[in-house]
Each structure stands twice: as structure tokens, then as C-alpha cells.
Structure 1
Amino acid sequence: MILPIVAYGDPVLKKRGTEISKDYPKLEQVIANMYESMYGAFGVGLAAPQVGLSIRLFLVDTTPFADDESYSPEEQAELKAFKRTFINAKILEESGEEWDFNEGCLSIPNVREDVSRCPKIKVEYQDEDFKTHVEEFDGLIARVIQHEYDHIEGVLFTDKVSTLKKRLLKGKLTNISKGKTSVDYRMRFPNISKKRS
């Protein structure tokens, strides 16, 4: 089932998610719905707070990036094959020289900004079967994981831009929270009058 994506301005996006256990209610269904919602919105990642759940769960599928010819065939193959569910993730280490990349977010439609992040990360997480993994990721995959990880920490990519950029974006972000934006996927806007929803 496709769930509405929670828009900028909803308090759930600023809350730190809580850890979950394997007896979390209907977890399998929640994960399936999140994948369906992510694909329905043409996303490469989706975190539980973006569907209104304040829990430490996010998904990543970098397949859409595999069509970008600026990547080597090896990188394209890696991006095409990467699909993962992260439960109770913790970034243990971030390393390397920070690099900028133009990021967007399903909760903040039609806004993109350069965000600086470390190229390598080490993450501890549990998969859908609650097996614990400790893995290292780099490049674009690391970036998508960092972006989604920020969501479960209550951080948005717009929090990472300069004060000047934040001021310039203020009007756009306010409009998004009021539903004054055009999107081709279902959204839930926090400051929209009930008549319009």
C-alpha cells in the first residue's frame, strides 16, 4: 500500500526515531508499504519518519543511479545491485575528505541543495531478520545511507546548508508545509487546511 509522504514542517521529521525489536507491530507490512511508497515517488531512499513513524528504520535502493553514465561500469553495477533495509542503524565512523553533492528529499519536493558529507562510513544495523551487520560503504551509496540516517536522527538535508541558503529557502519551505507545491506522489502536509486534503 502506498503511504503518503510526510511533508516538511511536520514535527515527526524533527524527532529522533526510537529503536524497534522484531515484535514491532506489522513490521513486515510496514517495510513492504515503505518500499512501495518509495518506488511510487521515484525515490532512492525512504526513512520511517517520512511516512509518519518515529522509529529507526530506513530503506535504500540505488538502482535509479545506475543509469547515470558518469559512473564507471563497476560503479553502475554496484548501484544497480544495492537494495537494503536498515533497522536500528548506527553510523560508527565517517572518514575521508568531505565532498559536495546536490541532494533532494521526498519530504521537501522541488528543493535541491549541495550538501557536504564524508565519502566513507562504517555502519552497524539489523536487517529484516534482525541479524546484526557491521559494514563499510563509500561513494554514492554511503551518501544515500547518510541522508536516510539523518532522518532517523531528526535531521533534514536543509539543516546542513549555510545560514544564507536557509534564509533563501525559508519561503519555499513554508509553502511546502502548506501544500503549495506540485508533486506527482501522495503527500501529507502539516499546515494545510482540512478542506483541501
Structure 2
Amino acid sequence: MAIYFISQGRDEIPRWREAFSDARLISPREIHARLVRGDCVWVMVDGEDWPQRVADLSRRGAVVGVMTHSPSAAEAFESLESGARGYVHALSAPEVLRQAQVVIMNQGIWVPPELMARVVGGTFRALGGRAQAHSQAEELQALTERERAVTLAVLEGHSNKEVARALGITERTVKAHLGAVFGKLGVRDRMQLVLRLSGLHAAMSDSGQ
């Protein structure tokens, strides 16, 4: 597996080089000749056509991450919609960048924690929201009443703190309920929870994605 970094700018990102010493800076034109299915490609948000580049690389079998200097929930959502599995601040610490790569290379989704709640909420609404979640009755029946309340609040894009305030419980209790929900439904994080309750999780597993 090769690691590539695509940027139309003149300067490399110092922390990217520190995080991935064996990676290669490459132009959008060069990547098409070198890309092998399963390679990891980090795309810098530095031009209007970056979503199309991400989509093309994803279709060709690359594991794609997006780097940006100005993280936003809207841009993170656009990255994931285009096929990226990760979205990170370009100035993240090297250990954070390495952790993000490990996650996306193992079929996970990486988004900065401060944006994850909003990205999850946007994804949940795009996939049908509560109506679609309630159609997965068998999944919801496996949860207690309180677990269902926490789950639906989280899926609508609320942070643990906001969920705790709305339900009159502590953040620690919210985390405990989420841990139980993840275990019962066989998911690792909020994004997988969205897919599970939208009916897409099983479809993706069946197709090998």
C-alpha cells in the first residue's frame, strides 16, 4: 500500500510529512498513472474541483482522506458524500493524522470530534431521519427506553453534553448508554450507528464495503 498526498499548492504540510515519512507528494495528473486499489490518498482542499477528485479516487478503489485548513461541518459532510473516509485539520498533530489513517484504512470514518455530532446529524437527516430509524423496529427493540432516547438524540446531531442536558442525566451516563447501544447493535461509533439504523449497514456488509 502506498500513501499519497495531493495538493495543487506549492508548499507541503510539515506535519503531514512528519506523520507519514514514506508518503509521496503527487500531482492530480500523476496519481492516475500510479494509483493501485487500496492505496491511501490524502486530498488537500485547495481548489473548487476537490470533491470531484475525491469521488474519482474513491471510485477507483483508493482509501481517501481530506485535509483542510478551515474545518467545517458542511465541508466534512461534502467530503463524506464524495466518498472520503476521513476529514482532518491539516495542522493536526502528527499522531492525530496517523490515528486518522489507521481508522480509515480499517473501514472506519474519521471526523474531528468537535464536528462529528453535526456531521452525524446531517447524515441521519439525509438518510431519512426518525422515520427511517423507526422502520428498523427490530434494531430499536433491542434497546431500553432510555437507550432509545439517547440514540435518537445523538443521531439528530446533539453532543453528549446536549443530550445529557435534554434528558436530565449526566454526560457520563450518556456515554454509558451509548457504549451499551454500540455493543448491542454491533457498531463502533456514531457514524456506524447512523448506517445501522438507516438499513445501510447490512447492505454495505453484504457488498463487501
Decide which structure has greater strand share. Answer: 1
Give the TM-score range, shorter chain: under 0.3
Query: More relative contact order in 1 or in 2 (CA 8 Å, sep 6+)?
Result: 1
Q: Which structure has the larger Rg over C-alpha atoms?
A: 2
> TM-score, normalising length from structure 2?
0.23
Structure number with higher helix proportion? 2
